[in-house]
Amino acid sequence: MDIVKIIAVGFIAVIIIVILKQYRPEFAIYVSIIAGTIIICMCIDTVSGIITLLQDIASRTNINGEFLKILIKITGIAILTEFAVSICKDSGESAVASKIDIGGKIIIISMSIPIIRALLETVLKLLP
């Protein structure tokens, strides 16, 4: 069960962070970053399986492969943005966290424009 391993890494990191904050608070952020990176790496196999499944479904249904690539990239950007925002908030930098969050949203919107355009073109074709 991967979730048990993920929770274990999280709990161990929290315990280390609580102890470090008493003696060397400047190192606590490093433990947080390392724990987050380990957890993300633990999920890579699952993500690759999901991507393979989506590609298989897309090939069977004749969905444009470029749209699938865009959706996967958007999901990755959202996950990485949330990770960076959490790290910034943990280190007490809420202002930087909000800027990263806004930047991630803007990039996601700009990447989704081809999908929105194709959707609108399809709707216009259906209208008389």
Residue 85: the pLDDT is 94
Q: For each of the chain's 128 residues, which pLDDT tens digit applies?
A: 788 999 999 999 999 999 998 999 889 889 999 999 999 999 988 888 888 888 888 888 877 778 888 988 999 999 999 999 998 998 889 999 999 999 999 999 999 999 999 889 989 988 87
Give the DSSP letter string of 36-66. Answer: HHHHHHHTHHHHHHHHHHHHHHHHHHT--HH
Residue 2: the pLDDT is 84
| Residue 44: closest CA among 68, 79, 18 | 79
Give the pTM.
0.78
